[in-house]
Structure 1
Amino acid sequence: MTNTAETRANAPEWSVSELSFALRRTVEDAYGHVRVRGEISGYRGPHSSGHAYFSLKDEGARLDAIIWKGTFARLKLRPEEGLEVVAIGKLTTYPGKSGYQIVIESLEFAGAGAIMAMLEERKRRLAAEGLFDPARKTLLPFLPKVIGVITSPTGAVIRDILHRLSDRFPRQVLVWPVRVQGDTSAAEVAAAIRGFNALPQGGPIPRPDVLIVARGGGSLEDLLGFSDEAVVRAAAESGIPLVSAVGHETDVTLIDFAADVRAPTPTAAAEMVVPVRADLIAAVDGLGGRLAAAPIRLLERRRGDFRALARHLPSADTLLAVPRQRLDGAGERLPRALRGNAVAHRVQFQAARARLSPSALRMRLERLAERADGLGRRLQTGLGGLVQRRGECFAALATRLSTAHATNLRAHQVQMARARERLAVLDQRAGRAVAGELRARRRRLEAVDQLLRALSYRGVLARGFALVRDAQGHAVRTAGAVAAGARLELEFADGRVGVVAGGAPAKPTPGAAAPVAPARGPEKPSQPTLFDT
């Protein structure tokens, strides 16, 4: 027991902070710079402070990781959820959680398999958004006037494209220089695509009719910029038809899926956007020759058809034989028909002349005159009857009107008499009411006057009392309130007398009457009393 106690007493005593920082120094000294391979887990983007927090994991363990804000801005490879990477940094501890973590200084892909896994996951996510939908793609123009090329201005790609365009069909070419490899490659390519689309129609810089995004072959890491999400979105949003020509035929990047057309090589892209001029001229010449020969061949064919049809037509004599015979027969029948027609018209004319003799007309006029006289007499008789009926109607209306007027006048007279009687009754009632109200007011006034007389101090003075006032005219109620030599005023029932007080005030004897009006309570100078005038 003694040895155990001595051992405990000799062991150094640590505080929690001291032990935590000692462990931190030990870990940092032993693992100052490490390379750790693992899969990124729990990454949700940078924190509001700008730092990034996540974990690296494999089949058997998990390691917390942190990237400081300044380091995060300089990273070539940005962390993504599920991406397998090699993290380069130093190990340290976090005393607040009693845990250890790696402070990452740079990230690298953990081989080609990690890159392919990252690209597959990105392709699946962008395809779910519809960026690779074939319905979004547009056809290339047959013969563009202006071609926009997005590539490096110093590489062999731009020379191959220009050479192929000059061989096939020379067109105006606008080159937007970008880096096709490196950290800024993706941002520059996306900005170039959007820049070409932002050019206005008819502006100082012509707007391209088609775009070519081109780069030569390279490793998977070299072509990674063309699989960046910003580049894919810019290609999908492009309003100008876009041809992707990145790498060789076996190289695949995500821009190939978002572009309208994928070319296996940059040279093939140049062949896709323009036709061969010589072939086009030959085709146009061939079509022109066919167009010139077609009318001649058509005319010859129509002439042969016309001759074949003409051989089947009958002759003019054959066609006119029957109509000629019909005309001859009609010519023979015409004189007889004319004579018969004239005879028939003559008979009709004679019948009409017999009906139109002067005596028949005279008789008809007489009948019409008699009819007109009869109508005139009927009209006169009808007018007289109508006037008589209208007069009777007006007389009846006048009688009814006078009767109604008299009836209305009598009704108004009766109504006025009733109103006059009612007014007289109301006048009598008003007189009685006023007289009664005056009597009531007079009685109340007499009662108030009697009450005022009963309460007035003058009735007291009439019984032999006097009212004493000082020089200011205030009523004096007690003898103690009067000083020797004070000027007083005595009011009697028939007048007032001025006096001067002399000697000490006499003490009142029991049972003796007071020489002045009895006191009515404490004096209140601020309130008027019955004794004030």
Structure 2
Amino acid sequence: MATPLDEAGLLAEPVPGDNSPALSVSELSGALKRTVEDRFGHVRVRGEISGFKRHVSGHCYLTLKDDKACIDGVIWKGQAAAMRFRPEDGAEVIATGRLTTYPGRSKYQVVIDRMELAGAGALMALLDRRRRALAAEGLFDESAKRPLPFLPATIGVVTSPTGAVIRDILHRLADRMPTRVIVWGVPVQGEGTAEKVAAAIAGFDALPTSGTIPRPDLVIVARGGGSIEDLWAFNEEAVVRAVAACSIPTISAVGHETDTTLCDFAADRRAPTPTAAAEMAVPVRAELLDTLDAARRRMTACTRRGAERAADRLAALTRGWPAPDALLAGQRQRLDDLSDRLPRALAGRAAHARADLARAAGGLRPRLLGQRVERERDGLARTGAALDRAASRPLAEARTRLGSLPLRTAVVTARLAEGEARLAALWRLAQSLHPDRPLSRGYARVEAGGRTVTSAAVARTLGDFRVVFADGGVDVAPLAASPPPTPRRERLRGGAANQPRLL
């Protein structure tokens, strides 16, 4: 029975004699893939790289283009690791591989097995483009260059340990100035060279100053001559950045004099050859010794000439002076005169002193002095008795008698003055012994119940007491009772008891 769709002619109907059945999309994509891969199983494509991207899986994706067309390309992880250079946008290359399709997007692409730069011109263009990009970052600035150490104690060399370069460097260093050399062996050509050279430079820079391996004072990055392709590892960005970031002064000695790499621009100094790098690193020992010897001779000659000129100037200044004997003649004569007069003067002074002593000795006899002391003692006793009698009588009578006795008045006045002086002295002593006097010098007094506490034993029995300062008092309470200190005599006695006997 016919349906409306059949009547409308919307359903596909087999046509008699038709031998091209309908294919599915997958069948058609598979047929195209087989056809393209069979026809273009091996191709070489020249073009400029555009949109280069390295995926986290390690595969690389890019586009090859010229002025009229473009084609996608893919480099699988294994082939990408074997590339002799790092692909970059703008580089003109020749890619070798096979053409295939990607059914998921209906696109065809080149699976690249090998990639080469399209001639020396393309390689130089890539090198120049990379140089300008790194220079824009300031990696080649002359202001960042550091001076080389004059006499490095240790030199680090990054090169192949089996090549002729390291032998040339060691031979030249031995001829000029024997120096300690540490070699960090790396390959200088082939796969992974750039990463290993950069790691060696960073390794030297990371050495501690006081470690078991001495930290180099200078690093030399060296390689023998070769083509630009052979030296390409030293143009890689990793090596250039490692050299620029190294805190140790570096010398780049890659290739011959006519060879130039980006490593040369980043290093502090460029050497035309590895041998020249060794010559830049250290001075000639013999020349240095000659220079020191010449400096010593010049210093000795200058010192001698200075002393001679000083002697000449001294002689010129002293030429007009009088003779030393003439300057000191008067003083010498005066000294002789005084030395002759001094014994006579001393003898005369001693004679006068003896005469004065003889005259005074008559009145200094002990008997006469004793009699005088007795007389004075008797007079003083009589005066004291009279004063005692006068004090017992009425004051008026004492004044009358004292007024009639001028001598006794003077004695009483003297006794009164003496009493006043003793009273003043006793008052000063009382003031100095007053308990409040030391408080002004930072001391304090402990009181309890209006009385002064003079011992720690009494203070321990009190509940509260008062500490008096110069400007007031503070009420305090003891925190806890502590045992009384051991008297010093008991401590000494106990120590003596414990001391071993000597006999």
So what's the TM-score if we normalise by structure 2? Answer: 0.59
Pick one of 211, 217, 237 that aligns with 1:203: 211
Post-superposition Cα deviations, 1:328-347, rounded to whole Å, max 9, x if no partner, equal: xxxxxxxxxxxxxxxxxxxx
Structure 1 residue matching 2:67: 3-state secondary structure: coil
> 1:248 is matched with which residue?
256
The ranges of structure 1 where at least 4 consecutive aligned residues each deviate by more than 6 angstroms after the TM superposition are 5-8, 312-316
Post-superposition Cα deviations, 1:423-476, rounded to whole Å, max 9, x if no partner, equal: xxxxxxxxxxxxxxxxxxxxxxxxxxxxxxxxxxxxxxxxxxxxxxxxxxxxxx
> 1:257 is matched with which residue?
265
> 2:480 is matched with which residue?
none
Considering only CA atoms, is the larger Rg found in Structure 1 or Structure 2?
1
> 2:384 is matched with which residue?
none
Q: CA deviation at 1:116?
A: 1.2
Are 1:16 and 2:25 matched, yes or no?
Answer: yes
Query: 1:69-148, aligned counterparts within 5 Å?
Result: 69-148=77-156
Pick one of 310, 316, 325 that aligns with 1:302: 310
Give, in whole Å, the separation in 2 of the partners of 1:69 and 1:182. 18
Are 1:152 and 2:153 matched, yes or no?
Answer: no
> 1:27 is matched with which residue?
36
Post-superposition Cα deviations, 1:316-364, rounded to whole Å, max 9, x if no partner, equal: 9x99xxxxxxxxxxxxxxxxxxxxxxxxxxxxxxxxxxxxxxxxxxxxx
Give, in whole Å, the separation in 2 of the partners of 1:196 and 1:48. 30
Q: CA deviation at 1:290?
A: 1.3
Q: 2:194–2:239: 8 Å Cα contact kept in structure 1?
A: yes
Q: CA deviation at 1:209?
A: 0.8
Structure 2 residue matching 1:279: 3-state secondary structure: helix
Q: CA deviation at 1:107?
A: 1.5
Give, in whole Å, the separation in 2 of the partners of 1:69 and 1:263. 38
Are 1:42 and 2:51 matched, yes or no?
Answer: yes
> 1:222 is matched with which residue?
230
Give, in whole Å, the separation in 2 of the partners of 1:58 and 1:36. 10
Query: 1:347-426, aligned counterparts within 5 Å?
Result: none
> 1:232 is matched with which residue?
240
Give, in whole Å, the separation in 2 of the partners of 1:264 and 1:307. 61
> 1:55 is matched with which residue?
63
Report the CA distance shift for 1:145/1:114 in structure 2 as closer, same or farther (over 3 A): same
Structure 1 residue matching 2:231: 3-state secondary structure: helix
Matched letter for residue 27 of structure 1: V
Structure 2 residue matching 1:222: 3-state secondary structure: coil
Q: CA deviation at 1:196?
A: 1.1
Post-superposition Cα deviations, 1:101-124, rounded to whole Å, max 9, x if no partner, equal: 111122112111122111111111
Post-superposition Cα deviations, 1:150-208, rounded to whole Å, max 9, x if no partner, equal: 11111111111111111111111111111111112111111111111111112211111
Matched letter for residue 32 of structure 2: L
Structure 2 residue matching 1:166: 3-state secondary structure: helix
So what's the TM-score if we normalise by structure 1? Answer: 0.56
Q: 2:85–2:232: 8 Å Cα contact kept in structure 1?
A: no
How many residue pairs end up in the alignment? Answer: 315
Matched letter for residue 15 of structure 1: S
Matched letter for residue 68 of structure 1: W
Give, in whole Å, the separation in 1 of the partners of 2:172 and 2:107. 62
Q: 2:82–2:191: 8 Å Cα contact kept in structure 1?
A: no
Q: CA deviation at 1:12?
A: 4.6
Q: CA deviation at 1:312?
A: 6.3
Report the CA distance shift for 1:155/1:74 in structure 2 as closer, same or farther (over 3 A): closer
What percent identity do the matched residue pairs reach?
Answer: 62
Q: CA deviation at 1:98?
A: 3.1
Structure 2 residue matching 1:42: 3-state secondary structure: strand
Give, in whole Å, the separation in 1 of the partners of 2:30 and 2:59. 23
> 1:189 is matched with which residue?
197
Q: CA deviation at 1:308?
A: 3.1
Matched letter for residue 126 of structure 1: L
Give, in whole Å, the separation in 2 of the partners of 1:219 and 1:200. 37
Matched letter for residue 255 of structure 1: C
Give, in whole Å, the separation in 2 of the partners of 1:99 and 1:197. 49
Are 1:66 and 2:69 matched, yes or no?
Answer: no
Q: Which runs of 5+ in 1 are unaligned?
A: 320-533
Pick one of 277, 281, 292 that aligns with 2:289: 281
Give, in whole Å, the separation in 1 of the partners of 2:69 and 2:28. 25
Post-superposition Cα deviations, 1:47-99, rounded to whole Å, max 9, x if no partner, equal: 34443222001122111111233433443333211111111111012234333
Structure 1 residue matching 2:226: 3-state secondary structure: coil
Matched letter for residue 24 of structure 1: K
Matched letter for residue 24 of structure 2: S
Q: CA deviation at 1:16?
A: 3.3
Stretch of structure 1 that moved more, 122-131 or 257-266 = 122-131
> 1:268 is matched with which residue?
276
Q: CA deviation at 1:268?
A: 0.6
> 1:528 is matched with which residue?
none
Give, in whole Å, the separation in 1 of the partners of 2:243 and 2:106. 48
Give, in whole Å, the separation in 1 of the partners of 2:20 and 2:149. 86
